[in-house]
Amino acid sequence: MDSVPTEHTVDSRFPLRTVEADGRHFSFRESGSGPAMVLLHGIGSGSGSWLSQLDELSSTYRVIAWDAPGYGATTPVDNPSPVAAEYAAVLEFLLAALKIEPAVLIGHSFGALTAGSYASTHSELPTLIVADPANGYGKAGPETRAQKLNPRLKAIRELGPRGLAEKRSSALLSSNASDEAWNLVRWNMSQLNPDGYEQAAQLLANSHLTGDAPAYHGPVLVMCGSEDTVTPEAVCRPVADAYPNAKYQTLPGVGHASYVENGPQFNAAVLEFITGQHG
């Protein structure tokens, strides 16, 4: 992989693909064949952030990294203030269009809310993995929710995607992250659609991951970087506790974008967990 990821690097290795279903357009990146592994990115990211997983995990799985509603070329949802269940319904349309049922569903940060909502109504899902999960603020009072939401809205409106990438990307990685990781995080954040980001921020304020957790009884892996300052381990451990059948794992030495900062470590943890559960 090139030391400095660029648009050319990402798109030449794993080109953006599109499909239409239910009158919606979806964009995603794909690699490999076999059982489907579906990857859901965080609020400040996109399908292009999963380079290591598209590369390494595709030897065993058909790896599909989606662009959430309002990201990439994916049609936004109609509701300006959605909940996770609405994004989970959109995910179902994409899966149906691709004629797949996920063997593994992985959600990172904000993406964990959609993954958790999907799992709560799909008991047949073999494996759920949430990494550095955002729990959401759906159970908090209006004042707390506004305190969490308004700075995000203000930042994207005042800074725009590129300004946000310059100011915010450093929070997603540890101080020891490689230049490659820094550039990939910045590039993905610079590609944000402001309207899609604002909808996602509303979803984050409206949803509640641990509220959905008790409904899913399949195997769950909750991972968190030891240097994560966005959703630190003190926030992530209760997510694992909320699931009936979950394992918690610390990913040492990495920050919030754990799958970007040390892809081999992240991928090894994913495969080890799946093998331990299903052989």
The 10s digit of each residue's pLDDT in 225-242 is: 999 999 999 999 999 999
Query: What pLDDT does 9 receive?
Result: 80
**HEC per residue, the chain:** CCCCCCHHHHHHHCCCEEEEECCEEEEEEEECCCCEEEEECCCCCCHHHCHHHHHHHHHCCEEEEECCCCCCCCCCCCCCCCCHHHHHHHHHHHHHHHCCCEEEEEEECHHHHHHHHHHHCCCCCCEEEEECCCCCCCCCCHHHHHHHHHHHHHHHHHHHHHHHHHHHHHHHCCCCCCHHHHHHHHHHHHCCCHHHHHHHHHHHHHCCHHHHHHHCCCCEEEEEECCCCCCCHHHHHHHHHHCCCEEEEEECCCCCCHHHHCHHHHHHHHHHHHHHHHC
Q: What is the CATH number of the domain that holds 235?
A: 3.40.50.1820
Domain count, the chain: 1
Residue 161: which domain range? Answer: 7-278
Query: What pLDDT does 68 receive?
Result: 98
pLDDT tens digits for range 121-154? 999 999 999 999 999 999 999 999 999 999 999 9
Would the pTM count as exceeding 0.85?
yes
Is 178 part of a structural domain of the chain? yes
> What mean pLDDT is reported for the chain?
95
Is 2 part of a structural domain of the chain? no
pLDDT tens digits for range 38-74? 999 999 999 999 999 999 999 999 999 999 999 999 9
Is 1 part of a structural domain of the chain? no
Indicate whether 8 pLDDT > 90: no
